[in-house]
Each structure stands twice: as C-alpha cells, then as structure tokens.
Structure 1
Amino acid sequence: MAIDWLARMRFMFNKATARIDSRLNLDDIERYWNYPRAGDPFLEAYQESRRLTGSTDDLAKQMRFHTLMQAVDRLASGRVVGDVAECGCWHGHSSHMIARALSASDWAGRFLIFDSFEGGLSDKGVQDRAQQGDTDPDETHRQKQLFASDPQAVAAVLRPFDFVDLHKGWIPEVFAEVEGLEARRFALVHLDVDLYAPTLASLRFFAPRMNRGGIIVVDDYASSHFPGATSAVDEFIVEHPPELALAGQTGGMILLY
C-alpha cells in the first residue's frame, strides 16, 4: 500500500513539538506543497547536504535550518559583509549548506568552523540539567559520545570549498589558538554547541566582533533537552542587548546586531 508521505510528515511535525497547533496542515506551507511537484530549492539543498554528511533529520530541524539559510542568503546577497563562523558542526550538515550557498555567491571571506569532534559534548553544568537535561552519569556519557564526530569525514565533505577553515578544540580555548581571530569581523555566526558554558563563551567572543547588520543564530534556544543554551542566551542579551532578538516557534534564536 502506498504511503501518504504528506500525512506522515504532518504526524511527525505534530509529534516533534507540542508547541505547534496540531491542526497545522503542511499543505499550507508552500515549500512542502511544491517539493513533490516542482521541487523546492531549500529542501533539495537540505536533503542533499544531509545525505552527504549522514546527518539526522526532523521537521523542527528543517524549520530551524530554513531560518538559518535565510540569514545566509542575506549575506550572500551582499547586504552585510564579513566572515562567517560556526561553533559546533557535528557531521557538517549546516556547514555544507552554508558553504555551498556562499560558494554560489559573490561573498568574499573566510568560513571558520569550531568543534571538539571526537570530544563530543562539553562537560555539563547545573544549567544544563534542568527540564529534560539528564542527571544520570551514564546518560551524560552516552550524550557526550553521541555528539562526537570524525574531523576527517567533515573535512572531506567540505574540501570543495577553499574558504573553509576547520579548527578542532574546546570552546573557548580554541579561539585563542587561531591566529588573528580576535581581529576578524563577522557577518554571520551559527552557534550549535548545546550547553550553557560554550554557548555563553561563544556569544561573549563573537557578539563584540559582529559587523553592523550581522546575525548570530543560536540553534539550541528553547530546546528542552539543552536548557543551558537558553539560559546562556537569556543571560547574555540582558547584559548585552542586540538590536533585535527573535525566537523561532520550533526552537532557535536570531540575534541581529
């Protein structure tokens, strides 16, 4: 029997987050309506990069990435200038999407990526253990290993893009290891480091180095599994308010500078 994939996607969408009205019909979202009929540029790029990197997929992630790629398109169109940084790349899904979009534009700069790779997650603090954050040492270890990745595999996927620099190490120590990083100015920064300490450290490092009109995208904002990221963002924007802060309904936060 044929599978009604649109019905299946609706079910997955509603299961992904209870914050979304269960009556939402994916037929009402243009890109999902077009995709099986005439194609959709975002979903095609998303799925190609996902396959190349062997990355995970769910509808909430697709929507966060859609927001991220709108920020990338803004940079690619020349409306803001500067380098790009990503903290936490895992298998390189978002890294590949960003790099491919930038390579097709007139943007000129460096794309700097920071990740512990084999190290997995940083050590959790008290802010990371609220809500659904775990308290069991075995679960902590499992999560730490789950988010480990192979730097050589990520480098291979990104090899076609000569403007990409991979930096292996823990945040924030790795920032001091990159020559000239403190003097760089950024147009876009993507933070996906899950936990309180590296999220806050990344915000403190990059926010003062954003060019006017630059954007920081925090992937883990409002995640019940990684509450520390939300705490870090909320704490930071009280101390250092951006021009605009926008939270996504399926998670994620955009900070405009």
Structure 2
Amino acid sequence: MRPTGAKRETSPTMHDPRTQSTFDYSSREALEDYFNNSPGSSTEKLENFAKYVPRQNLARFLARYEIFKLIKDIQGSIVECGVLFGGGLLSFAKLSTILEPYNFQRRIIGFDTFTGFPSIDKADLKGRPERKSAHLKEHGFAAEGAYEDILKAIEIYDISRYLNHFPKVQVVKGDFAVTAKQFLKDYPHLVISCLYLDFDIYQPTKIALEQFLPRMPKGSVLVFDELNEEAFPGETIAVMEMLDLKSIRVRRFDFEPRISYAIIGD
C-alpha cells in the first residue's frame, strides 16, 4: 500500500516472509552492492536504469503504463491512494508528460499519511494471523522524510516539462479520513479517470471508494493493489462492501501478480 508511506522496517539481513523470500532479499543486497560500486556517475546510472531496477519494479512500471494507455482518452485526473516513496506517483506524472504533454487538466494527486497506518481495523485482522504482513500495525509503513523528498522530486520534474506554469502533481499529507473530504471541498470540480487503491487497509480504502467512485466516468479505471491478498485482507473486504464483484470484470496482468483493475461501465 502504502497509504501511508514507509520507513524501512527491515534491515538488509531481515525480510518479511509473507511478501519476500530469502532469495528475493539476497538479490536486493547483491543489486544494491552492484549499484554502489558500478562505474559511472549517478546520472549515468539513472540513464541506464534497466541495469539496476529489479524486474519486479520494472513490471509494476509497465503495469502503470498499460493502465495509463487505458485512460489516455478519458477525461479526469489520476488519484493514487498510498504514495510511499513516490515511485508510482511520479511514474504516472512522467507518463502523462511524455504521452500527452499538452493535457494540463490531467492532475496527478497522491494521498498519504507518511507516518504509517493511523489505525488498524478489525477487518484488517481477519483470516489467519500467521499470514498477515509484519507491517500490518499502527504506524506500519511509515516513511520518514518521504514527503519532503517527493516535493523535491516534483520540483525537479517541473523544470523541463511542457506547460510547467500549470501545476501537475499534488501530494496531500495526513489522515485520509480528514484530507479526502477537505480536498473535495477545495476542489469540487474533480473528475477522476484513474483511482489507484494502494492503501492496503480497510478504512481508508472504503472512504476512497465512497468519496471518489461517484466522480469516475464510464471508461475510467479502478486499480487494486492488494485485492485477493491474504497479507492485507482489509482492502478486499472494503471493496466487497462497496462494489458488487459479480457486476464488474476484474482484470490482471500476466507479468505482474498484485495489480488488478476494473474499467468502469465495462
């Protein structure tokens, strides 16, 4: 999720067996060592990013690209519920800049507490306790310094984009139960072409569907990051309370296991 963002709660010698295998973590350690010691400046390494980006993260970027193509001709902004360190948010922003450089109406809006989960609902704890994520606790997935870091990333992103006198990316910090309602008061015109649910937990996911689903026109895309995920059952429970699963077609990608989506009105 990361409706909240997240401080690393694991050291290089630890991993969450619910989401990562020992092999995965060994691979990350080897990759980090390779990145730090390979030749080239930091910018040159970024320019050759495919050498360093884990295939899982590259797959998630490709999934976002495919989602963006689905909503390219749909009016409305992209709302990401759960920003973490901002990789997904800036992916959507840069895709918009590349594929539709003159669409100044498409805003990229992210919501996150950046202090972790504000609370855990009993719905989040349903199922087998041993299968729950180690992050499923109050302040789980806290991201110290991430908010300020993302603002800096947006500042750099704005330097070279078209029509940069129009604001493009907005990050809303705080408890979503409070910030969502206030945001809609401040921006009553909001129409949403893509709602990306990555809060992981029950309460903010349900609020997002209550507040934002009525603003999604036919053809817009509703994205789930933890649907059918045993480690975070709250998202699925909230979706099932708010939507009739029999009436929507939930699609997935054959190259990315977690992300799924439904096209509104399909």
1:181 matches 2:187: yes
Change (3 A) 1:185 1:191: same
Any conservation in 2 of the 1:120–1:149 contact (CA below 8 Å)?
no
| Alpha-carbon distance in structure 2 between the residues aligned to 1:105 and 1:86 | 19
| Alpha-carbon distance in structure 1 between the residues aligned to 2:132 and 2:197 | 19
| Alpha-carbon distance in structure 2 between the residues aligned to 1:214 and 1:170 | 26
Cα displacement (A) at 1:172: 2.5
- Per-residue CA shift, 1:64-118, capped at 9, x if unaligned? 4432321112333xx211111111100001011111010113233222111111x
Any conservation in 2 of the 1:90–1:149 contact (CA below 8 Å)?
no
1:163 matches 2:162: no
Change (3 A) 1:247 1:196: farther
| Alpha-carbon distance in structure 2 between the residues aligned to 1:240 and 1:172 | 28
1:113 matches 2:113: no
TM-score (norm 2): 0.65
| Alpha-carbon distance in structure 2 between the residues aligned to 1:246 and 1:237 | 15
The sequence identity of aligned pairs, in percent, is 19
Any conservation in 2 of the 1:91–1:149 contact (CA below 8 Å)?
no
Any conservation in 1 of the 2:110–2:170 contact (CA below 8 Å)?
yes
TM-score (norm 1): 0.67
- Structure 2 counterpart of 1:238, one-letter code: D
Q: Secondary structure at the match of 1:211?
A: coil
| Alpha-carbon distance in structure 2 between the residues aligned to 1:99 and 1:223 | 27
| Alpha-carbon distance in structure 1 between the residues aligned to 2:200 and 2:48 | 21
Cα displacement (A) at 1:63: 3.7
Q: How does 1:17-32 map to 2 (within 5 A)?
A: none
Change (3 A) 1:252 1:158: same
Cross-structure match for 2:209: 203
Change (3 A) 1:169 1:148: same
Structure showing the higher helix proportion among its residues = 1
Cα displacement (A) at 1:62: 4.4
1:251 matches 2:258: yes
**Which fold has the larger relative contact order, with Cα–Cα distance below 8 Å and residues 6 or more apart in sequence?**
2
Any conservation in 2 of the 1:88–1:193 contact (CA below 8 Å)?
yes
Cross-structure match for 2:43: none
Cross-structure match for 2:32: none
Q: How does 1:110-149 map to 2 (within 5 A)?
A: 110-117=107-114, 119-129=115-125, 130-131=127-128, 132-133=131-132, 140-141=137-138, 143-145=140-142, 147=143
| Alpha-carbon distance in structure 2 between the residues aligned to 1:252 and 1:196 | 17
Q: How does 1:79-94 map to 2 (within 5 A)?
A: 79-94=73-88
- Structure 2 counterpart of 1:234, one-letter code: M
Cross-structure match for 2:13: none
Any conservation in 1 of the 2:80–2:196 contact (CA below 8 Å)?
yes
Cα displacement (A) at 1:16: 6.8
| Alpha-carbon distance in structure 1 between the residues aligned to 2:219 and 2:189 | 18
1:234 matches 2:240: yes
Q: Which runs of 5+ in 2 are unaligned?
A: 1-17, 22-45, 159-166
What is the CA RMSD across the aligned residues, in angstroms? 3.3
Cα displacement (A) at 1:215: 0.4
- Alignment size in residue pairs: 204
2:96 aligned to 91, 102, 108, which one?
Answer: 102
Cross-structure match for 1:191: 197
| Alpha-carbon distance in structure 1 between the residues aligned to 2:98 and 2:171 | 20
1:172 matches 2:177: yes
| Alpha-carbon distance in structure 2 between the residues aligned to 1:141 and 1:47 | 34
Any conservation in 2 of the 1:85–1:113 contact (CA below 8 Å)?
yes
